[in-house]
Amino acid sequence: MNRHVVVIGAGAVGAISAIEALRAGLRVTLLDPGLPGGEQAASYGNAGWLSSHSVIPPAEPGVWRRLPRLIMDPLGPLAIRWNYLPQATPWLLRYIAAGWTAARIAATARALRSLLVDAPALHEGLARQAGVPQLIERRGLLHVYPSRADFEADALAWTIRRDNGVRWLELDAAALHRQERALHPRYQFGVLVPEAGHCRNPGAYVAALVAYARTLGAQWVSARATGFHIERGRLQAVRCDDTEVACDAAVVAAGAHSKALAARAQDRVPLESERGYHVVVESPEVMPQLPLMVSDCKLIATPMETGLRVAGQVEIAGLGAAPDWRRADILRDHLPSIFPALPREFPRDRLHNWLGHRPSTPDGRPCIGFARASSDIVYAFGHGHVGLVGSARTARVVAQLLSGCAPEIPLAPFDPRRFA
pLDDT of residue 146: 98
pLDDT > 90? residue 65? no
Per DSSP (E only), the strands in 63-124 are 78-80
pLDDT of residue 1: 56
What does the alpha-carbon distance between residue 144 and residue 182 come to, in Å, rounded to a whole number?
13
Task: Give this prediction's pTM.
Answer: 0.96
The three-state secondary structure class of 153 is: coil
**CATH (domain of 52):** 3.50.50.60
pLDDT of residue 359: 97
What does the alpha-carbon distance between residue 406 and residue 413 come to, in Å, rounded to a whole number?
16
Torsions phi, psi of 50, nearest 5?
Answer: -105, 70
| Nearest alpha carbon to residue 384 among 271, 263, 251 | 271
For residues 259-276, one letter each, b for 16 or more C-beta atoms within 10 angstroms of the residue's C-beta and e for the rest, the string is bebbebbebebbbbbbbb
pLDDT of residue 137: 98
Query: What value does the mean pLDDT take over residues 2-9?
Result: 96
pLDDT > 90? residue 196? yes
Range of the domain at 305: 4-59+107-419
pLDDT of residue 67: 72
In terms of DSSP bridges, do strands 307-316 and 169-171 run parallel, antiparallel, or are they unpaired?
A: unpaired
What does the alpha-carbon distance between residue 263 and residue 123 come to, in Å, rounded to a whole number?
31
Within a domain: 80? no
Query: What value does the mean pLDDT take over residues 159-171?
Result: 98
Average pLDDT score, the chain: 96
Q: Tell me the C-alpha to C-alpha distance, in Å, between residue 178 and each of 181, 324, 365.
A: 6, 37, 37
Torsions phi, psi of 371, nearest 5?
Answer: -75, 155
What does the alpha-carbon distance between residue 350 and residue 394 come to, in Å, rounded to a whole number?
36
Query: What value does the mean pLDDT take over residues 125-149?
Result: 98
Within a domain: 146? yes
44-63 pLDDT, tens digit per residue, is 999 999 999 999 998 877 77
pLDDT > 80? residue 69? no
301-353 pLDDT, tens digit per residue, is 999 999 999 999 889 999 999 999 999 999 999 999 999 999 999 999 999 99
In the chain, what percentage of residues exceed pLDDT 70?
99
**Size of the chain in residues:** 420
Confidence tier at 164 by pLDDT (50, 70, 90): very high
Query: What value does the mean pLDDT take over residues 205-226?
Result: 98
Find the radius of gyration of the CA atoms of the chain: 21
| Nearest alpha carbon to residue 47 among 340, 257, 303 | 303
Domain count, the chain: 1
pLDDT of residue 58: 86
Which ranges in 225-325 belong to alpha helices (H)? Answer: 258-264
Q: At what angle do helices 387-402 and 102-116 cross, to 10 degrees?
A: 70
Query: What value does the mean pLDDT take over residues 272-296?
Result: 97
398-413 pLDDT, tens digit per residue, is 999 999 999 999 999 9
Q: At what angle do helices 12-23 and 202-215 cross, to 10 degrees?
A: 30
Query: What value does the mean pLDDT take over residues 15-42?
Result: 97
H/E segment holding residue 136:
strand 136-137
pLDDT of residue 63: 73
Confidence tier at 41 by pLDDT (50, 70, 90): very high
